[in-house]
Structure 1
Amino acid sequence: MVISVKNADIYQKEQLILSDVNFEVNEGEFVYLIGKTGSGKSSLLKTLYAELWLEKGQATVAGFDLHVLRKKDTPELRRKIGIVFQDFQLLTDRNVKKNLEFFLKAMGWKEKSQIDARVAEVLVQVDLPDVLQKMPHQLSGGEQQRISIARALLNHPQIIMADEPTGNLDPEKSLDILKLFMKINKESNTAVLMATHDLELIERFPRRTIFCDKGTVNDLTESL
């Protein structure tokens, strides 16, 4: 099991966003997290990758107990997970290769040959093997999101958490990104928890779905 949440309350500062949250994500599972804007999807994800602190309840992510996690141990948790954002969050002052190198070095990788090999591997995984020297602004939005997915894959994560990864993309590119997540999920058995409000994508490619609504979280799997 990669994620286990029991009786958790999710706060944004002092405001209660979601109460009594209970769900699990198993190894290799693909799960949608849906809900309207402001329903708590991002707050829940931020709690799971320890940007927000768990005040009440229990949650484990990639073997880490979030309720007792110390701030200094947060980087260790982040080494076990991959995070993909809506706005890509690439470093605009360096090319694709240096973006990915920077992340690996921050994760403790030191050997240049290993870094070079891993960068090449993840670019093949996201079908962009020839963009090493390109700057982010030279890439389309869909390509930039593929690079951010490559970055999330670098450290062989147990799970990728994606927060509205298609939110800035047109429908065609959104579909391409979803298919890429599903390919990665199938081929590498990496679990994926993907927050989205794009119901059309979910209808076309149904998977287990968790729904944030009115301060609660419900599993809609049986209704799909």
Structure 2
Amino acid sequence: MFSSEPVLILDHADIYQGSKLILGDVSFQINKGDFAYLIGRTGSGKSSLLKTLYADLLLQNGKGQVAGYQLNPIKPRDIPYLRRKIGIVFQDFQLFSDRSVEDNLKFVLKATGWKDKGEMNNRIAEVLMQVGLGTAQKKMPHQLSGGEQQRVVVARAMLNEPQILIADEPTGNLDPAVSDQIMKVFQSINNAGTAVLMATHNYELLNKYPARVLRCQEGQVIELNG
């Protein structure tokens, strides 16, 4: 059942890295099916903000809620459950190089409590189809191009049908044509109802695929309108 509750709410949140305040008084929300870019210079706090959303950094002041979990305070035992409700895509692929695509995905399913072999195989086939890699199950990561590896990472993030996909520079290492393909994958996932929050340096993408834009600058997060 889909509620009309926002998938992500930050309300007067302070984002710290250790004892250093990185972003102050951050307030915004992302609703089901939203697509938002997070932009800003290197060091402006984009990654710290994303890490706070998946509880890699703890939210110290203010309120935050992601996929129904309160970030302040979040119990350590709840963090794995929060991360099942969000898909995370990094710039570096972090695939196991010694296992096939299928085994990379199976590892995540087993780690998140899936038991039934048939169900696992079906889900793996579904997410690979979703990212346009329906025939890649048995391939090893080194047999795939960078763009294909990034698609596997997106597929991996989608395994548990997350409410929101958080992507940190997902096209950072890819050339423009491949970046376009990855953006189309994100768009189709978004059109199917999953919210997307994507940190990027690539301003061409913003022009080509317009969406909401949040900018980190001078210790704040500002929503840019048009």
Residue 1 of structure 2 corresponds to residue 4 of structure 1: no
Structure 1 match to 2:26: 21
Residue 197 of structure 2 corresponds to residue 193 of structure 1: yes
Moved over 6 A (4+): none
Structure 2 match to 1:69: 74
Counterpart secondary structure, 2:21: strand
Counterpart secondary structure, 1:79: helix
Q: Per-residue deviation at 1:137?
A: 1.1
Letter in 1 for 2:182: I
- Percent identity, aligned pairs only, is 59
Letter in 2 for 1:98: D
Counterpart secondary structure, 2:162: coil
CA deviation string 1:25-47 (max 9, x = no partner): 00011111111111110100000
Counterpart secondary structure, 1:45: helix
CA deviation string 1:111-132 (max 9, x = no partner): 0000000000000000001111
Alignment of 1:77-92 (within 5 A): 77-92=82-97
Structure 2 match to 1:127: 132
Alignment counterpart, residue 216 of structure 2, candidates 212, 220, 223: 212
Structure 2 match to 1:57: 62
Structure 2 match to 1:140: 145
Structure 2 match to 1:203: 207
Task: Provide the rounded CA distance (Å) in 2 between the counterparts of 1:216 and 1:68.
Answer: 22
Structure 2 match to 1:161: 166
Structure 2 match to 1:31: 36
Q: Per-residue deviation at 1:213?
A: 0.7
Query: TM-score scaled to structure 1, two decimals?
Result: 0.97
Task: Provide the rounded CA distance (Å) in 2 between the counterparts of 1:91 and 1:12.
Answer: 29
Structure 2 match to 1:182: 187
Structure 2 match to 1:149: 154
Task: Provide the rounded CA distance (Å) in 2 between the counterparts of 1:205 and 1:192.
Answer: 13
CA deviation string 1:41-84 (max 9, x = no partner): 01000000000000110000000000021111100101111000
Aligned length: 221
CA deviation string 1:162-206 (max 9, x = no partner): 0000000011111111111011110x2000000001111101111
Counterpart secondary structure, 2:24: strand
Q: Per-residue deviation at 1:210?
A: 0.4
